[in-house]
Amino acid sequence: MTDHPMPEPLLSITDLRVAFATRGGLVRAVDGVSLEVRAGECLGIVGESGSGKSVTFASVMGLIRPPGRIEGGSIRFGGRDLVGLDPAAYRRLRGREIAMTLQDASTSLNPALTVGTQITEVLLAHAEDLPAGHGPRRRAARQRAIDMMRLVGIPAAEGRLDDYPHQFSGGMRQRMMIAIALSCRPRLLIADEPTTALDVTIQAQVLELIAGIRATLGMSVVLITHDLGVVAEYCDRVAVLYAGQIVESGPTAQVIAAPRHPYTAGLLRSVPVLSDLDRPIQPIPGQVPDLVDLPEGCRFLPRCALAHAACHAAVPMRGLGAGRAARCVLAEAAP
């Protein structure tokens, strides 16, 4: 199988390093992450909490605040580097070209403001094609807000603009948050754990909604999750993070069918798979390492059943062909 010629990626992160100064020392939350998101694709980011998956994309959003700091690397989006971008330019980017939804809509929507205020304010801040004049601008923003709320499937949208978040059900709140994020039709949506806070039945609805809108608007989606099942169903490609580094990446189907990193394999064994419910669930033994004073070698080493003498030296990411790569001394290129 040969690689097709790829268009310029929408987002490309190269050797990103983010650290947090804490009392215990410098926590290297993201340590040399490189990845790409292509136009229109859905990339899954998988990892446990503390793996650096959320911090990586908070960096993309420019939301790393002291004591956190981007120590190095670059984040290129639509042809420019976002690291060190001036705050005003970043503000014009956020919400308009890159949007983000957070894990829990019930805490992410402001309890003291109506949802109408919270959605129209994005339009009023960014949309350039609204009519001039205070009144017409406002009315147009309201109309667009209603359209977007309809698009995400909120019934009787006009009547709900003046409601407060607590008057919505959990699923509707999640839809509302997606509507707010998408109101300016961004080129990239970063969905951080979009289903963790929801009931199982509503989880699928929300994921279908994101997939549907992705097709309608032709945007790229980064789906941050700890659930490989979700990735298998909705993502074109996947990157697995462990302790601040990517340990494996590649097309979803291949990675899931034949993982090349013991951690990915462990993750797959630790989740129930619908097609094979009889298979026993095996949690990965041990714990995520402390991100202060990490050893030079493989970070998964203490928990790995296949540990090796070579694992004590630094392990680089190895290209395996067919768009796959893994950070393991045992990973071999496909024959």
Nearer to another protein, 164 or 233 (CB): 164
| 186's tokens | 């961004």
Write down the residue that tokens 């004049």 correspond to: 133
Residue from 99, 115, 325, 329 touching another protein (CB under 8 A): that is: 99
**Residue 31's closest CA among 327, 334, 335, 333?**
327
**Residue 176's closest CA among 218, 140, 217, 122?**
122
Mark residues 163-182: x for contact with another protein by CB under 8 A, - for none.
-x-xx---------x--xx-
Q: How many residues bind another protein (CB under 8 A)?
A: 33
102 binds another protein (CB under 8 A): yes
Nearer to another protein, 68 or 266 (CB): 68
N- to C-terminal Cα distance for the chain?
11
93 binds another protein (CB under 8 A): yes
Which helix (H) or strand (E) is 17 found in, with range?
strand 11-22
Q: What is the DSSP string of 207-265?
A: HHHHHHHHHHHT-EEEEEES-HHHHHHH-SEEEEEETTEEEEEEEHHHHHHS-SSHHHH
Mark residues 120-139: x for contact with another protein by CB under 8 A, - for none.
-xx--xx-------------
Shortest Å distance, C-beta 151 to another protein: 18
Which 48-67 positions form the footprint of another protein (CB under 8 A)?
A: 61, 63
Nearer to another protein, 17 or 164 (CB): 164
Residue from 5, 111, 155, 280 touching another protein (CB under 8 A): that is: 111
| 15's tokens | 């050797």
96 binds another protein (CB under 8 A): yes
Nearer to another protein, 4 or 166 (CB): 166
Nearer to another protein, 186 or 262 (CB): 186
What are the strands of the beta sheet with 98-101, ordered from one edge? Answer: 98-101, 188-192, 220-225, 42-46, 237-242, 245-251, 324-326, 318-321
Q: Cα–Cα distances in Å, from 213 out to 20, 207, 300, 321?
A: 35, 10, 37, 32
Residue from 71, 81, 92, 258 touching another protein (CB under 8 A): that is: 92
Shortest Å distance, C-beta 101 to another protein: 8
Helix segments in 111-169, DSSP class H: 115-126, 134-151, 157-160
User: Cα–Cα distance between 49 and 86 in angstroms, integer?
Assistant: 30
Mark residues 13-52: x for contact with another protein by CB under 8 A, - for none.
----------------------------------------
Residues that bind another protein (CB under 8 A): 61, 63, 87, 90-96, 99-104, 107-113, 121-122, 125-126, 164, 166-167, 177, 180-181
